């Protein structure tokens, strides 16, 4: 017999060596599996979602996050016997399923493997997918846990394979439950153990801010926000984050292949929100000014750094990427958005249109001033020639004046 409850949990709670998955809604699943005598044999409570990158019919790539798909069932979940180990089986829509298998040794049990299946034939989740069908990703884990211990992992765990990123957090699970009672002894995952350890103290003091290792130019990603069936925001850009915390500077290139975009569009504001396994949210908020132009008004970020610390900054008083409504803003050269003294974003191959997108395509672009550098050389040459001409004329008039003065004295 399977007993379960499903709790809606608004998108908070992804934590890792890196991040909290922010804007994407997720669900907490709780499963209490009982045997023929109605004694608990397996208990689990966890949160999860999945990010899938797929090819479209026009040979571009899109990324979707699968979290809430409505009704969840647990058909096929078993306590296990002499031939088969315990198994959690979850179904959340036609062609979408998730399975976790457990095995047992003399003094331990293991979360042995995880399998996730998704249906690219579902046009709601995968619009315009080039290949239709059910695809499965298998992951071998072999996480060993002492028998009669409850496994806990609040930190975010991320699995990546074949264009699929799986996220798990707030995990509680115990297989092979003894005497029908879930244990009070907890076995923590490595990330939860390290998250309670004090940060490492450097033996040498940085002076005064360490210089980050230069990074190569980041890959440009294409992001979009939909309003119903229509695209309302488009953005293409390579993003490089410059972060300074505790006098240590770091440079982080955003990988568009593992970055998911969400957001919203309104008449006078638009939001592009990026998140990944290391970024809770990176928000770009656009606004309309004077009823005829748009600009980047606000940037907010919250993410986990490699040392496990949280970095969060917000600034709602910016003025970048200004362009007329009905057009897009473009800047092929490197630009810097200075959010604060501790956080700057370098952008490359930038093009963005947060309003008035038509048929999912960019409108005519207004170039940034950085792209107008080609005009500086002829302007400088012209100015130099004008300066020479002025000097020649001044010399001529001064000489002419002295010439007349000489006649008057004679």
Q: Where are the domains of the chain?
A: 29-188, 221-367
> For residue 371, is pLDDT > 50?
no
**What phi, psi does 239 have (nearest 5°)?**
-120, 130
Q: What is the predicted pLDDT for the residue at 198?
A: 35
- Interstrand relation of 365-367 and 328-331 (parallel, antiparallel or unpaired): parallel
State yes or no: pLDDT of 296 exceeds 80. yes
Report the run of H or E that residue 6 belongs to, with start and end. Answer: strand 2-9
In the predicted structure, residue 327 carries a pLDDT above the cut 50: yes
pLDDT at 24 over 50: no
Q: Which residue has the tokens 């009823």?
A: 291
What's the pLDDT tens digit per position in 230-280? 999 999 999 999 998 878 888 999 999 999 999 999 889 999 999 988 898
Q: Which residues of 383-405 are buried (b: 16+ CB within 10 A; e: fewer)?
A: eeeeeeeeeeeeeeeeeeeeeee
- Band (pLDDT 50/70/90 cuts) for residue 82 is confident
Highest-pLDDT range among 52-66, 196-210, 370-384, 393-407: 52-66
The DSSP line for 305-354 is: -TTS-EEEEEE----EEEEETTSEEEE-S-EEEEEETTEEEEEEEEEEE-
What mean pLDDT comes out for the span 2-12?
A: 36
Span 295-322, mean pLDDT?
Answer: 88
The predicted pLDDT at position 50 comes to 86
- The share of the chain scoring above pLDDT 70, in percent, equals 79
Q: What is the mean pLDDT of the chain?
A: 81
pLDDT at 8 over 70: no
SS3 of 10, please?
A: coil
Q: What is the pTM of this model?
A: 0.48
Residue 375 has pLDDT above 50, yes or no: no
SS3 letters for 355-406? Answer: CCCECCECCCEEECHHHHHHHHHHHHHHHHHHHHHHHHHHHHHHHHHHHHHH
At residue 258, the 3 state secondary structure works out as helix
Higher pLDDT, 332 or 22: 332
Q: Do residues 38 and 56 lie in contact, with contact meaning Cβ atoms separated by under 8 Å?
A: no
In sequence order, what are the residues at sequence separation of 6 or more whose Cβ sits closer than 8 angstroms to the Cβ of residue 5?
30
Task: Look up the CATH number of domain 221-367.
Answer: 2.40.160.110
- pLDDT for position 61: 84
Look at 124 and 321; give whichever has higher pLDDT.
321
CA 376, 382, 384, 386 dihedral sign is: negative
| Residue 196 exposed, middle or buried by CB count within 10 Å (0-12, 13-18, 19+) | exposed
Q: Do the beta carbons of residue 267 and residue 396 sit within 8 Å?
A: no
CA atoms within 13 A on the CB side of 366: 14
Q: How far apart are CA 260 and CA 289, in angstroms?
A: 28
Classify residue 57 as exposed, middle or buried by CB count within 10 Å of its CB (0-12, 13-18, 19+). exposed
User: Distance (Å, rounded) from C-alpha 396 to C-alpha 408?
Assistant: 19
- Confidence (pLDDT) at 271: 93
Residue 194 pLDDT: 62
Does the domain at residues 29-188 carry the CATH identifier 2.60.120.260? no
Nearest in space to 242 (alpha carbons), one of 274, 280, 206, 210: 210
Query: Residue 9: what pLDDT?
Result: 34
Pairing of strands 164-175, 40-55: antiparallel
Place of tokens 């993003």: 239
How would residue 384 be classed by pLDDT, with cut points 50, 70 and 90? low
Same CATH topology for 29-188 and 221-367: the answer is yes
Q: How far apart are CA 116 and CA 137, in angstroms?
A: 5
Cα separation of 342 and 246, whole Å?
A: 10
CA distances from 273 to 37, 52, 270 (A): 49, 17, 10
Check: CB of residue 272 under 8 Å from CB of residue 223: yes
Beta bridge partners of 149: none
Predicted local distance difference test score (pLDDT) of residue 209: 46
- Give the pLDDT band of residue 304 (cuts 50, 70, 90): confident
In 123-276, which ranges are E strands? Answer: 134-146, 150-153, 157-161, 164-175, 186-188, 221-227, 230-245, 248-253, 260-265, 269-275
pLDDT of residue 404: 54
For residue range 176-234, what is the model confidence (pLDDT) as tens digits? 999 999 999 999 998 877 643 333 333 333 344 445 555 689 999 999 999 888 999 99
Q: What's the pLDDT band for 18 if we cut at 50, 70, 90?
A: very low
pLDDT category at 119 given cuts 50, 70, 90 is very high
The closest alpha carbon to 185, from 156, 144, 146, 153, belongs to 146
């Amino acid at each position: 017999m399977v007993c379960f409850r499903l709790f809606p949990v608004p998108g908070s709670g992804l934590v890792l060596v890196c991040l909290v998955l922010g804007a994407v809604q997720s669900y907490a699943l709780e499963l209490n599996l009982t045997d023929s005598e109605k004694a608990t044999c397996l208990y689990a409570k966890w949160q999860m979602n999945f990010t899938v990158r797929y090819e479209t019919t026009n040979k571009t790539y899109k990324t979707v996050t699968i979290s809430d798909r409505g009704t969840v069932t647990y058909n096929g979940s078993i306590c296990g016997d002499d031939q088969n180990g315990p198994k959690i089986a979850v179904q959340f829509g036609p062609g979408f399923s998730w399975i976790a298998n457990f095995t047992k040794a003399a003094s331990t049990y293991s979360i042995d493997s995880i399998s996730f299946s998704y249906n690219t034939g579902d046009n709601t989740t995968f619009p315009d997918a080039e290949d239709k069908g059910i695809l499965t990703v298998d992951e071998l884990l072999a996480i060993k846990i002492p028998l009669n211990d409850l496994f806990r992992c609040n930190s975010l765990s991320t699995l990546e394979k074949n264009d699929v990123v799986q996220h798990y957090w707030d995990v509680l699970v115990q297989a092979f439950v003894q005497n029908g009672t879930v244990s009070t002894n907890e076995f923590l995952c490595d990330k939860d153990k390290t998250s309670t350890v004090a940060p490492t103290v450097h033996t040498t003091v940085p002076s005064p801010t360490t210089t980050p290792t230069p990074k190569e130019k980041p890959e440009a990603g294409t992001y979009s926000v939909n309003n119903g069936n229509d695209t309302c925001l488009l953005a293409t850009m390579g993003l490089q984050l410059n972060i300074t915390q505790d006098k240590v500077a770091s440079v982080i290139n955003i990988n568009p292949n593992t970055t998911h975009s969400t957001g919203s569009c309104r008449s006078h504001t638009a939001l592009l929100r990026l998140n990944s396994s290391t970024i809770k949210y990176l928000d770009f908020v656009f606004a309309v000014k004077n009823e005829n132009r748009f600009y980047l008004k606000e940037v907010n970020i919250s993410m986990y750094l490699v040392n496990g610390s949280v970095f969060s900054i917000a600034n709602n008083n910016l003025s970048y990427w200004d362009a007329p409504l009905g057009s897009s803003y473009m800047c092929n050269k490197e630009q810097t958005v200075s959010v604060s003294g501790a956080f700057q974003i370098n952008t490359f191959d930038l093009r963005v249109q947060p309003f008035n997108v038509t048929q999912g395509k960019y409108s005519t672009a207004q170039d940034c001033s950085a792209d107008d550098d080609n005009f500086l050389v002829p302007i400088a040459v012209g100015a130099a020639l004008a300066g020479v001409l002025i000097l020649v004329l001044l010399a001529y008039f001064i000489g002419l004046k002295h010439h007349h003065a000489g006649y008057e004295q004679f």
